[in-house]
Structure 1
Amino acid sequence: AFRLYDVDNDGYITRDEMYNIVDAIYQMVGQQPTAEDDNTPQKRVDKIFDQMDKNHDDRLTLEEFREGSKADPRIVQALSLGDTTCVQREPPQASAAVTSSPG
């Protein structure tokens, strides 16, 4: 997951890098019911950085990311595309049977 967010491959995830990915995910899945502190991309990024950015330099190292992920596995879930707190999948629709009448 770290590499997904480290867009420029410099070994750090900046707030901007994370925001751009999280924003794209929110746009892709649409607005879904979420906790108040996760209902916008900016709030989600702020929450993640509050929990992971131990030295408060507005960028996450791989070590900070690993430690934060161990401390709260929900963060990794929240960063994945399969985030069930953000994405609610619709059940597949049954296709209507096509019938033809004689004639």
Structure 2
Amino acid sequence: GDPLPSIRGLAQDLKISVITTMKAYEELSAEGLVTASKGKGYYVNAQDERMLKEQHMRQLEKNLSDAIYSARIAGIGLEEMEQTLEMLWRMDEE
């Protein structure tokens, strides 16, 4: 994959600490988005469909959680939410 900027270089460009940049790269590596190559730096991993689907699901769960919170504040129940979701789903199919 494509190389990421060096940790020191990115930290300098963003005017943040090297430790913060290193932690961010380590988190990306833990999530499987990048790979560290000893002495060469970090490289972006090719994303497979499974990983992309998982990322979309996480975003969908967050969006639905926000919608549920808003619905509860407005006094909208589960049945009405289901009807709305089904209506929107069908509208998008057309």
**Which structure has the larger Rg over C-alpha atoms?**
2
Give the alignment's TM-score, normalised by structure 2. Answer: 0.31
Greater helix proportion:
2
Structure ranking higher on relative contact order (CA contacts 8 Å, 6+ apart) = 1
